[in-house]
Structure 1
Amino acid sequence: MFEDSLSFLNQNPEYLLFSVFLVAMCESLAVVGIIVPGVGLITAISVLAGNVNTPIIWFLLCAISGAFIGDVLSFGFGRYCQPYLTAIWPFSKHPSWITDGEYFFHRHGGKSIFLGRFIGPIRPFIPMIAGMMKMNTQHFLLLNGLSAIAWGLIFTLPSYYLGENLDLKWLFSWQALLILTVMSLIAIAVSLLIKQKKL
């Protein structure tokens, strides 16, 4: 079953390309980025892409494009919805999301677009805040492009190359399951011993 799935993805790499584009875009969108476990999904997709030899250039381009477009959409949302944002859910319920983002933006200026890309909790909000603060669009697009490229290289390449050299079929074998079970039992036993000593 798992071998069939890998074979299907190998023959249809467009599914992985679309997936990495969609996840990269969603994790950059205001609000949506909080819900989407972007780093975990990107890592898993990258490992699979490497394992089935998805063309690395196309894979990187899809990841970078998704991250770039997600930030552009958030920037536009902040710019055009700025007067109403504090009244819109979830910002009406969590106004600190905006105030924390504004503080970060004031403190770091344009650099916040680049830095924010790599800081999980504020990643989806910084482009929106930049739009709210009427940041120069060309300056935003330049920093957004550079940060998307850096993000794509850092967050996809290591996992992609790991996937190239990883036998995913073995990970789903009974031997791997046995090893994981034994390791889990040892970890539980050690934690119980530590607790007893503390008592």
Structure 2
Amino acid sequence: MAIEIETSRILEFVQANQSMAPLAIFLMAMGETIVIVSVFIPSTFLLFAIGGIMAAAGVPLMPSLLAGWLGASLGFSIMYLISASMGDRILTFWPFRTYTETVGKTIAFSRKWGVWGVMIGHFAGPLRVLIPIVAGISRMRPIPFMAANLLGALGWIVTFFAPGHLVVSSEWFRSIFSGFLKFT
């Protein structure tokens, strides 16, 4: 059975609900940085597509971009605070005790890169959710952590969300695909 997707209906839905776009991007970005939740929200790659869909529907970029930045940095901050308060005990809980090799790789990464690792950590795929946890366990100072977290979260959302929006909203894209899509 083939799935038919009517693009005009999708764009109408997004346009009608554009006030919810920043909240959706905020929750996706935050979920991508929280242990267990991140497994169910593969938002890194979805953000590019959603940015394009939002542009095609005429939804402005900046509110969602800011919301994504705040969501990604808040998720890292929550994981940092939880692990800083629990210390090494957090590693005795599932899923950490099950993935000791991955935790070990993250610890080695954090030792090598220090505070820069927090910034880079936003781009570190499967290690992403562990970076703030290791930073908290190792008692990284809060101000350097937050500075690196904010810069890394901004870089991540700009890298994965903004391009989809900017490409689809460009005149070049619209001229090529105007026969296939009805842009707002």
TM-aligned CA deviation for residue 142 of structure 1: 0.8
Matched position secondary structure for 1:93 = coil
Task: Give the percent of matched residue pairs that are identical in Structure 1 and Structure 2.
Answer: 25
Q: Which residue of 1 aligns with 2:54?
A: 49
Contact 2:103 2:130 in 1 (8 A): yes
Q: Which residue of 2 aligns with 1:3?
A: 8
Q: Which residue type is aligned with residue 22 of structure 1?
A: L
TM-score (norm 2): 0.84
- Choose 1 or 2 for highest CA Rg: 1
Q: Which residue of 2 aligns with 1:187?
A: none
Q: Which residue of 1 aligns with 2:68?
A: 63
Choose between structure 1 and 2 for higher RCO, CA contacts under 8 A separated by at least 6 residues.
Answer: 2
Matched position secondary structure for 2:180 = helix
Of 33-42 and 93-102, deviating more is 33-42
TM-aligned CA deviation for residue 3 of structure 1: 1.6
TM-aligned CA deviation for residue 65 of structure 1: 0.8
Which ranges of 4 or more aligned residues in structure 1 deviate by more than 4 Å? 166-169
Q: Which residue of 1 aligns with 2:92?
A: 87
- Size of the aligned set, in residue pairs, is 172
Contact 1:78 1:131 in 2 (8 A): yes
Q: Which residue of 1 aligns with 2:117?
A: 112
Of 12-21 and 55-64, deviating more is 12-21
Contact 1:13 1:54 in 2 (8 A): yes
**Which of 76, 97, 101 is residue 96 of structure 1 equivalent to?**
101
TM-aligned CA deviation for residue 132 of structure 1: 0.7
The gaps in structure 1 that reach 5 residues or longer are 172-199
Matched position secondary structure for 1:105 = helix
TM-aligned CA deviation for residue 137 of structure 1: 0.6
TM-aligned CA deviation for residue 5 of structure 1: 3.0
Q: Which residue type is aligned with residue 59 of structure 1?
A: S
